[in-house]
Amino acid sequence: MKIKFYYVRHGQTIFNTLGRLQGMCDSPLTTKGIEDAQEVASVLRNIAFDAVYASTSERAWKTANIICAYQKQSPILMKELREFDFGNLDGQKIDEFQDAVWGEGMREDWSAFDGETMEIFAKRSRHAFETMFSQCKDGDNVLVVSHGSYIMHLMRTLLHFDQAAYIRKRESEGKAWIPNCGICVFSYEDGKWQMEEEPVTAQEYRNLHFPKTLHYYLVRHGETQFNTTHRLQGQCDSPLTKTGKQQVMQASLKLKDVHFDACYTSTSERARDTADILLQQRNLQPIWDERLKEVNFGTLEGSNYLENFEEQNQRFYAMHYKDIGGEDAEDVKKRIRTFLRDASDEAKDGDTILLVSHANFYTLVLEELFGISREHLFQESRAKGINPTPNAGICKFDYDKGKWNLLETMNGEKYV
């Protein structure tokens, strides 16, 4: 019988950021910990797990719940998958007990601090995997979400890793021994354990297993009523004008020879209507996604941006509206990162994908992926006498095995 195990360490916690020892004690996932778990969920979406097991510590089972977003399985919680019991060192600052914690390599006997001995820990870890065996069948893929010292123990005892050599290698590469949300793959077959992949981050796993080249076309919606009256139009909406529809038809003609495998559009009606025009004569249904919406301008939504021009200009370049109930640049960039991650993980190698969105969303894509500042973009474009974000403008960029390449901006020029 062969069972393949995907072992994931829990996401980053508050104690991880504070450098505190965290065994049987617990602390909440940080925002980064949650985001990293979502990254693992996305990259493992196409692996069908037959069973999911998680430590009963909240940091682990919450990580498991997030990873299961694309799975049919829910985590089975097991106390035997909890981290080492570090005794009275639990919660202490690691650097204050450096020698006691690490010793030679990774310490595995904590009885001197009223914690677990290696024998006790080994017994419960064996029982955990024996329980999994009894519940699995030949060929199953099993996800296990647990802890860092736990997998180090398994690597040494089950997989016969030279722990000291492994640690030296990781440190020479500037990498954590077991990164938070790191993915480790090993298998059991007819009484033998085998390491298939040392712990890697989700992005490293993606690059190793799903190297893709994808082609993206990002189109801004056509002219709207608010565009003609100079009103800020972020998450509020106004209909396409007759001119706007004509602009989109012209964009459609430019794209007539491009085959699209998928289309995603902002949920704003001006973008949905633009997508519908672009997809006329195509057997393709747009997927609505709120992450493609325009920047939220807060209480300035609907205002005339020519009024209070100086304040508007400062906010516009800084993309700062959170203090008035809207979004800042980083809020939108987070939407961009998560959307493109999911769209890219969902796509097949070689796919061409159409995106329909908005002007400021587009400029933040340029800033996030290609390091082009909004202020520099507008200054350069105005110096050339061109509009950097024309209605129904088309931007082209590629995703090539983890790297983003800009091919053409909306004004028809490659931006250097």
pLDDT in tens, 226-251: 999 999 999 999 999 999 999 999 99
* Residue range 190-216: mean pLDDT, rounded: 93
CA dihedral for 12, 13, 18, 21, sign (positive or negative)? negative
Q: Which of 154-163, 171-180, 405-414 has the highest mean pLDDT?
A: 171-180
**What residues have CB less than 8 Å from 310, skipping those under 6 apart?**
none
Predicted pLDDT of residue 104: 41
- Gap between the Cα atoms of 30 and 18, Å rounded: 11
Tokens describing residue 251? 């964009």
Predicted pLDDT of residue 105: 42
pTM: predicted TM-score of the whole model, two decimal places: 0.90
**At which residue do the structure tokens 């969303």 appear?**
361
- Gap between the Cα atoms of 339 and 121, Å rounded: 41
- Gap between the Cα atoms of 2 and 338, Å rounded: 35
Give Cα separations from 174 to 170, 292, 402 (angstroms). Answer: 6, 36, 20
